[in-house]
Amino acid sequence: MKEIISAKQAAKLIKSNSTVMVGGFLSCGAPDKILDELVNENIKNLTMICNDTSFEDVDKGKLIKNGHVKKVITTHIGTNPVTGAKMQSGEIEVEFYPMGTLVEKIHAKGSGLGGVLTPTGIGTVLEEGKQIVEIKGKKYIFEEPLGADFAIIYGTKVDIYGNVCFEGTTRNFNTSMATAADVVIVQADELVECLNPNEVVIPGIFIDYIVKRES
């Protein structure tokens, strides 16, 4: 059985200057209540790994707007003008990757691989400073694995053993991030005694703490 904690307790586990993976595609499948508590607890200087920075007044966007993030590793920021403004002013650093490349870097960490080879970005600024590998006449960028101190993820339904299932597209980056961080915290819309094994998407072995979402 996993430890069940509040969103506030979860936020207190995360220290300033940590690297944090955050699940969700915009606000779909985002662990909003835990992110709200990170703002309330004034956790600072975070490096946030995420698909996007959402919108300025919700979930991941609140962390950006309220000055809790020093660096973002992401695929796009177009839905949050605050991120763009802070990047232009130098207040935060933004490191961009194509979406497929970002998720494969996370997969590599979770799978214990030494990295991945991708042709995406060859001939563009994305290859600058990267190792280029040529195989059978085709060039690839070598991308290193990407992990984090913490992963804050979402689950539609989670059982007391940490097994997680999802409804629709809420799984997005959550499934990959659960494998690639030292400590994984899942925010559950619904907490149940035991999931049907056929429902399980993330096995409980990857989960350290469960937060039951309160409205």
CA gap 151, 161 in Å, rounded: 18
* DSSP code for 182: E
Tell which residue, 207, 213, 210, has the closest CA to residue 175.
207
Residue 207 belongs to some domain of the structure: yes
CA–centroid distance for 170 within its chain: 13
Burial class (CB in 10 A: 0-12, 13-18, 19+), 197: exposed
Q: Contact 19/42 with Cβ under 8 angstroms?
A: no
Residue 150 belongs to some domain of the structure: yes
Residue 136 belongs to some domain of the structure: no
Residue 161 belongs to some domain of the structure: yes
Residue 202 belongs to some domain of the structure: yes
Model confidence over 6-53: pLDDT tens digits?
999 999 999 999 999 999 999 999 999 999 999 999 999 999 999 999
CB burial of 4-19 (b: ≥16 within 10 Å; e: otherwise) equals ebebeebbebbeeebb
Domain that holds residue 181: 3-113+146-212
Q: 214 pLDDT band (50/70/90 cuts)?
A: confident
Average pLDDT over all residues of the chain:
97
A 10 A CB-CB count for 51 gives: 23
What are the beta bridge partners of residue 192?
159
Tokens of 193: 């005694």
CA gap 173, 30 in Å, rounded: 10
Find the mean pLDDT for residues 99-108: 98
Quick one: what percent of the chain has pLDDT higher than 70? 100
Checking if the pLDDT of 215 tops 80, the result is no
Model confidence over 63-85: pLDDT tens digits?
999 999 999 999 999 999 999 99
CA gap 15, 201 in Å, rounded: 29
CA gap 86, 134 in Å, rounded: 37
CATH code (residue 20): 3.40.1080.10
Count of structural domains, the chain: 1
CA gap 157, 171 in Å, rounded: 11
Quick one: what percent of the chain has pLDDT higher than 90? 99
Residue 182 belongs to some domain of the structure: yes
The amino acid sitting at 60 is K
Q: Contact 130/138 with Cβ under 8 angstroms?
A: no
Find the mean pLDDT for residues 126-149: 97
Residue 125 belongs to some domain of the structure: no
Residue 108 belongs to some domain of the structure: yes
